[in-house]
Each structure stands twice: as structure tokens, then as C-alpha cells.
Amino acid sequence: MRRPPANVLGALLIVVSASSFGTLGPVTRYADEAGVSSLAFATWRAGVGAIVVLVVVGAAAVAGVRLWKPLAEIPRRDRGFLALAAPINAALNLAMFIAFLRIGVALALLTFYVYPAYVAVISVLWFGERLDRLRWLALAMSLTGVVLVVAGAGKLGSLDVVGIGLAVAASLGQTFYSLAANHGFRRVPGMQASAVTMGGATLVYLLAALVIGRLGEIAQPFGSTAALGPVLYAGLVGAGLPTICFITGIRLLGAPRASILSTLEPVVGVTLTAILFGTVPAPIQVVGGAFIIAAGIVLQLRPRGEVSDHEAVVEVSS
């Protein structure tokens, strides 16, 4: 069976990733209603996600496919960036959880989703990537869409300096993670990078819980089926699957285009919330979603004869 072009495959993987991450809003709400704290939810989400990836890696190894490289085969630079990715990923998630509480979900998301612009600018200025007019147009359309989708949710919350600062820090952390996945630890297999990132984040959360005296909260998901279900779902669909898809997709598509496509996440979140909790999206949110979807279509358009800088062939070790 013929493999789809790298840019198409990369786009599909990012769409799957954004859609999966987008389900976390309603799932987090279910977990909260079942008595699971944000810290416990984040810990189990990362931990279950890491376990899922390790199971896949193990099954592949039994089948003779190597998805994991010994440390000796990974350049020191890549190992360094990967070591930074785990705590930064954990910190940005914790920062967003606190920002949600201080300034509200809408304003926190609005601040966070500026990161595609950061990625695009840094990619051009630092890494010398080329973004034509269509790519800049797609970026503008996606950011406009995010503003409309989030603003349509209602009150944006208070202008709390600490809360906004945390959301900005989370946005910068996601910028680093996106660029590191493409440029920093690119020679680390995607499965391995996913497992290390989520496993490392789990350890960070556990350490944080121990330091602040809230380690007992980690057992909350075992209190009931209603509490355990959302946590297991978040680990599988909200962490393991999308993290693998994101890292693989960003390497096929490039950091700027992948981050722009990722703005589909709030659209999925708003739509799913409307379906599950009976809320009706405002007309402005529908328009914003249309902008984001249109940006995704624009990203797949290229002047005749242009070859993407990131249409790389996925390496499979044997």
C-alpha cells in the first residue's frame, strides 16, 4: 500500500493530536466532579500515557521493530534537550492549571495560543526556515480563529498579573517543546521521546506533591469508578496517543505549520463541551472555528514546484 506524502501524513497526525488534546477539557471537568484534584489528574495522565507508550515499544521489540535507541547512540545535544523537555512540559501544564484558576479558562487559553506565532518567528529568525505568504496568512487566520472561539465563551476573567504571567510562561514552554521536538532531540525516536517526556513529567509531579505535602492526593482516582475512568482516558487518549502523533507530525510537517494546525484543539474542546454539557456555541465561535479550519486548508496549499523543507522520510530502526 502506497504511503501518503509526508506533508499529508504530518497534517493528519497533528489533527489527531489536537483533537485528542481537545477532549481534555470535558474530561478534566468529569474528573473534578469525581473528586480528583488537578495535581492528581496531571500525574496520572502523564504516568498512564508513559506506560501506554512503553507497552507499544515493548510489543514492537517482540515483533523485531526497534523503536528505542540506547543512550550511547543518541548525540549528547539531543539527550540534553530531551532531559529539559520533561520538566518544562510538566511545568507548563501546572502553570496552565493555576492560570485556569486565577484568570479563567478563556483568558488562559487565549494567552497560551499565541505560541504558534512565537514558533513561526523563532523558526524564521533562528533556524532559517522559509514561510511564504500562505503560511503567514494561515498563522494570522488561526490566531484570529482562536481569539473568536475563546472570546465567544463569555467572560475572559480578571487581569491578574500572576495568572497572565503563568499563561505566558506556559505558552513559552510549549514553544520550546515544539521547537525542541523538531530541532533539539530530533534523532531520538518519537516513541522514546514521548515515553521519556511523560515519564519525566510524572516524576516531577510526584516530587512536587511530596514537597508541598499533597502526596496523598495521588490516590484519589482509586476512590471510585467515576474518578478512575476520566484518568485512564486522559492517559490513553489525552496523553499517550496525542504526544506520539504530535512529535511525529511536527518532524514531518515542521514546527511552524504543526503549531498552527494545533490551534484546532480549542475548536474540538468547545464543540465537545457543547455536545456533552448542552451548551450552545455562540455564532462568533462558529466563525472562529471556520477560520481555524480554513487555516488548516491553506497550510496544505503550496505554490507549484515548491518542496517542503520538512518532508522528511521517517526513519525506522531495525
Q: Is the pLDDT of residue 165 over 70?
A: yes
Could you identify the residue written with the cell 513561526?
120
d(CA 94, CA 166): 9
CA-to-CA distance for 180 and 186, rounded, in angstroms? 8
Q: For residues 11 and 261, is the Cβ–Cβ distance under 8 A?
A: yes
Give CA separation, 67 vs 193, 294, 308, in Å: 10, 35, 26
Q: Which residues contact 48 (CB under 8 A, 6 or more apart)?
A: 231, 232, 234, 235, 236, 239, 240
Model confidence at 159, pLDDT cuts 50, 70, 90, reads: low
Backbone angles phi, psi at 66, to 5 degrees: -95, 120
The confidence score (pLDDT) of residue 300 equals 60
Q: How confident is the model at residue 199 (pLDDT cuts 50, 70, 90)?
A: very high
Confidence of residue 309 (pLDDT cuts 50, 70, 90): very low
- The H or E element containing residue 53 is helix 38-62
Average pLDDT of every residue of the chain: 81
Task: State the pTM of this model.
Answer: 0.77
94 or 209, greater pLDDT: 209
Which of the 8 DSSP states describes residue 73? G
Higher pLDDT, 167 or 314: 167
Question: What's the pLDDT at 155?
Answer: 55
Least-confidence region, from 5-14, 28-37, 41-50, 277-286: 277-286
